[in-house]
Chain A
């Protein structure tokens, strides 16, 4: 059974803290994605990676960075968390761009 796991389901952080969100997939997929989900805005792409150590900016990369040191793991980093980064964060992986994306369960991040 294919699986994408995320390190936390719920996270509460304070403004200015550095936040790490971890995502691991066990399908040997090349491509991994980080989205944020906000009501009425759908899923917006933050960053994606199509290979180890490769990354591309998505539509809303400001305030975020990513790391992909191993094929199975893709990390999202909030260098200095702000209240407008309170959101649901979803990780996904896919064999290539034109096939099913497999999503993790999401991390609901609250920044106080």
Chain B
């Protein structure tokens, strides 16, 4: 079935450095790719998303790139800060019965070292 693979499962970076999380998806019909951040004790929250008609999107220190040919997409966080420490999930849309749904990756626990 359709799936989304996410790497790495844990990532530790020095404050101020960049962090990159990578995902691959299996359904070539996927056309929506959101990224969610989950802080301790909270539900996931959308931080950025990209649709299949663009290759890159940027929002301040966060950027996402999409390679539809290779079925890869990545999250880039620059100038990392302590508040970036969280679990990050990538996801891809799939068409399912009469509605679309989202398949999530397994998550990346990002730790920012002071």
**Residues of A with Cβ closer than 8 Å to B?**
4, 31, 33, 35, 40-45, 48, 50, 56, 58-59, 90, 92, 96-98, 100-101, 103-106
If A101-B46, A103-B43, A105-B41 touch, whether A45 touches B34 (CB-CB below 8 Å) is: no
Instruction: Given contact pairs A40-B106, A50-B98, enumerate 18 new A-B contacts (beta carbons under 8 Å).
Output: A33-B101, A42-B6, A42-B89, A42-B104, A96-B99, A97-B32, A97-B102, A98-B32, A98-B51, A98-B93, A100-B34, A101-B36, A101-B102, A103-B36, A103-B43, A103-B45, A105-B43, A106-B43
Q: How far is the CA of A40 from the CA of B7 in the complex (A)?
A: 11
Contact A96 B44 (CB under 8 A): no
CB contacts (< 8 Å) of B6 on chain A: these are 42
CB contacts (< 8 Å) of B96 on chain A: these are 56
Contact B105 A42 (CB under 8 A): yes
Contact B104 A43 (CB under 8 A): yes
Contact B101 A48 (CB under 8 A): yes
Contact A100 B46 (CB under 8 A): yes
Contact B43 A97 (CB under 8 A): no
**Residues of B with Cβ closer than 8 Å to A?**
1, 6, 9, 31-32, 34, 36, 41-46, 49, 51, 89, 93, 96-107
Q: How far apart are B109's CB and chain A's nearest CB, in angstroms? A: 9
Q: How far is the CA of A45 from the CA of B1 in the complex (A)?
A: 14
Q: How far apart are A37's CB and chain B's nearest CB, in angstroms? A: 8
Listed from nearest, the 5 A-B pairs whose CB atoms lie closest are A97-B100, A103-B43, A42-B106, A43-B104, A50-B99
Q: How far is the CA of A103 from the CA of B36 in the complex (A)?
A: 10
Q: How far is the CA of A98 from the CA of B101 in the complex (A)?
A: 8
Q: How far is the CA of A40 from the CA of B51 in the complex (A)?
A: 26
